[in-house]
Amino acid sequence: MPRIPLIIDTDPGVDDAVALVLAMQSPEADVRAVTVPFGNVEIEKTFLNARRVLALAGRTDVPVAAGAARSLVHLQDEWAPEWHGADGLGMRSADFPAPVAADPRSAVALMADVLAEATEPVTIATIGPLTNVALLLAVHPELAPRISRIVAMAGSLGAGNTRGRAEFNVSADPEAAHRVLTQPDVPVTLVPLDLTMRCLAGATWLDALAASGPRCATLAGVLELYRAAFRERYGVDAVALHDALAVLEAILPGTLRTTSMPIRVACDLGPARGATIPDGRPDAVGPAVHVALDADTDAVLTEILDRVRRLG
Ligand code: RIB
Ligand code: CA
């Protein structure tokens, strides 16, 4: 079976944790590196959490490096402790084994090394703020041809999930998102809230995960605070596994059905800051982004569960 060389840039984050385990339990995924920005929680915690999740998955072979601790231009003004817990793992970080070792390189340096050493183009799945990937493209434009595509969980054509109009990953660093989504060098597949919020994992899914073994029980426990937040905010006993959808698409290209359109990001300081706006003008300029707006959501959820539960 063809294996996909993959870098995952992630801000764990409870749905990030599921996405990381999904990748680690998928034989098609040749995970060359995990890199971490700030995001759901501070970089010190996202970095620790990524290494904790890899330890849970028994993956000491994958280097993990920390990157951006801040957004590029304006400071992030909204965090997500009510969704991910102050520790970033649903207040269950104590249930995890000791974290795997930290790679001493910066995220950009690690990504650059992986790209430079790869004998075939590498997919980058970015499931947090896009700061590290924007920096990579800025510092190493010569490596763009070595990136086969960027699959980004980010954005929303409709309502956002922050205080303003924006989806969280974009709101955390709109300038970085704009940089990545409007550059012509690397194809981008965008996985927005428009799809991820239509693909909710319900009680049966969550119970099946919890019953799949002790490590799956730990992972399911991480989702409990997030599940309660969904009940509170949306009135549903279910959770959106935003990041897992993006990683599944990165591993199984074509799983999500896309529509191509140029995307702009509002980078002003007004109420729409961080909005991702499709440019539908006939004379729209800039590269088209492949926006995932449709999928067989039942099949997607089944695929994610079947793979994640291999963790045992
Ligand atoms: O808006 C959803 C995104 O924001 C996901 O990546 C989640 O982990 C949070 O970071
Ligand atoms: Ca995330």
Tell me the three state secondary structure of residue 151. Answer: strand
Q: Is the CB of 243 under 6 A from ligand 1?
A: yes
Instruction: Give me the pLDDT at residue 163, please.
Output: 84
Place of tokens 């800039």: 286
140 is catalytic: no
Q: Is the CB of 37 under 6 A from ligand 1?
A: no
Q: What confidence tens digit (pLDDT) does each residue in 272-284 have? A: 999 999 987 888 8
Spacing, Cα 44 to ligand 2 middle (Å) = 15
User: According to DSSP H, which parts of 151-192 are helical?
Assistant: 168-172, 174-181
Nearest atom (ligand 1) to Cα of 40: 10
Spacing, Cα 69 to ligand 1 middle (Å) = 16
pTM of the model: 0.98
What is the percent of the chain with per-residue pLDDT over 90, rounded to a whole number? 93
> Residue 64: which pLDDT band, with cuts at 50, 70 and 90?
very high
Pairing of the two strands 188-191 and 257-261: unpaired
Q: Which two tokens stand for residue 147?
A: 């990136």
CATH of the domain at 118: 3.90.245.10
Q: Which residues does residue 147 pair with via DSSP β-bridges, in sequence order?
A: 122
Place of tokens 């990937």: 133
Q: What confidence tens digit (pLDDT) does each residue in 148-176 have? A: 999 999 999 999 999 888 999 999 999 99
CA distances from 258 to 93, 168, 215, 252, 295 (A): 36, 21, 34, 14, 9
CB 208 within 8 A of CB 158: no
Neighbours of ion ligand 2 (CB under 5 A): 11, 13, 16, 127-128, 243
End-to-end CA distance of the chain: 23
Mutate to test the pocket of ligand 1, among 132, 242, 245, 249 (most ligand atoms within 8 A of CB): 242
- Neighbouring C-beta atoms of residue 72, cutoff 10 Å: 18
Catalytic position from the list 84, 178, 242, 290: 242
Instruction: Give me the pLDDT at residue 283, please.
Output: 86
Q: What is the C-alpha to C-alpha distance for residues 305 and 301, in angstroms, rounded to an integer?
A: 6
Q: What residue numbers bound the domain in which 46 lies?
A: 4-311
Q: What confidence tens digit (pLDDT) does each residue in 205-264 have? A: 999 999 999 999 999 999 999 999 999 999 999 999 999 999 999 999 999 999 999 999
How many domains does the chain fold into? 1
User: According to DSSP H, which parts of 144-294 are helical?
Assistant: 168-172, 174-181, 193-196, 203-210, 214-222, 224-234, 242-251
* pLDDT at residue 83 tops 90: yes
Q: Is the CB of 168 under 6 A from ligand 1?
A: yes
Spacing, Cα 83 to ligand 1 middle (Å) = 10
Q: Is the CB of 9 under 6 A from ligand 1?
A: no
Instruction: Give me the pLDDT at residue 198, please.
Output: 98
CB 153 within 8 A of CB 243: yes
Q: What confidence tens digit (pLDDT) does each residue in 33-61 have? A: 999 999 999 999 999 999 999 999 999 99
